[in-house]
A and B are shown apart, each in its own frame.
Chain A
């Protein structure tokens, strides 16, 4: 039986869809069978971020309406074995789907895949309840700014209420320089506030923009820091113990101070 993981955040624009695309691809590259599900009915984007937009024929709505079999609605990603996408309908809206219907789809998908990653829409309304209905685990994506963290806390509360466990945190768009000069909260600050397990940090990487332009998930660009970060998170999701590197760059003064005060 596969695992159903909802990728969510509360706030929009923090990198849910990018994270879903990259973690899905990364897990497939690790040899897992993965289906990524776009739960953002009416505002679908996972297909275009993954570069599969021209190949969508059926959506989850067609499956719910019994217009097509679930297997037939899955679009195979030809770049890697074992990765498929279930697109969301662009013509409908969130209220056209019931949480129980999403759960039924997730339950069916988990019987044939190792991982079912559900890309949740922003917000705490129906779209979120649909996306999390069939999930047993969650990955909460946040950026180190006040609004994203506040919204993440709200979402974590709702996930805990729904008994979704474990809830893992991805800290996205982390800037070592800004942390170094005290303009951005570091991972310890964020974990102290949100009080959940940090599964990975994705450093700010301009490669994300070009990879999204091209529709090729960043993880294929092995040399990029973002790609390596997503690969590490995928490995941690499979249970491997991989330490989180310390991205924060220390200022010259701190480095000298540390050198003098370091413990032997």
Chain B
């Protein structure tokens, strides 16, 4: 609600929120000792394996870390290809 009103008036998102989101991501990576290269490699290998079994739209594949409080989740998005 808050965001949509702001977007309606064309305001930029608050820089403190951007800082927080960026920090959360980078700190999660720091804590787990993973870097972008490793995440890319993981995404690549996961894609190779899953492609044997499913058809999904390659360009919307996403593997990322989600940080919540003290815990952290690995989120892998492999959206199915839309049936025509």
Binding site for B on A (CB under 8 A): 145-146, 149-150, 153-154, 157, 179, 182-186, 189, 192-193, 195
- Tally of chain B residues near chain A (CB < 8 A): 15
The interface-forming segment of B11-19, B40-48, B51-59, B75-83 is B11-19
In the complex, are the beta carbons of A193 and B23 less than 8 A apart? yes
| Other A-B pairs, 14, CB within 8 Å; known A150-B30, A154-B30 | A145-B19, A146-B22, A146-B23, A149-B23, A150-B23, A150-B27, A153-B27, A153-B31, A182-B14, A183-B14, A183-B16, A184-B16, A186-B16, A192-B69
Q: Are A146 and B19 in contact (CB under 8 A)?
A: yes
Contact A182 B27 (CB under 8 A): no
Q: Which of A150, A182, A195 contacts B16 (CB 8 A)?
A: A182
Is B26 among interface residues, defined by CB-CB distance under 8 A?
yes
B interface residues with partner A (beta carbon < 8 Å): 14-17, 19-20, 22-24, 26-27, 30-31, 69-70
Complex partner residue of B15 from A153, A183, A186, CB under 8 angstroms: A183
A-B contacts, 25 of them at CB < 8 A, read A145-B19, A146-B19, A146-B22, A149-B23, A149-B27, A150-B26, A150-B27, A153-B27, A153-B30, A153-B31, A154-B30, A157-B31, A182-B14, A182-B15, A182-B16, A182-B17, A184-B16, A185-B16, A186-B16, A189-B16, A189-B20, A192-B20, A193-B24, A195-B69, A195-B70
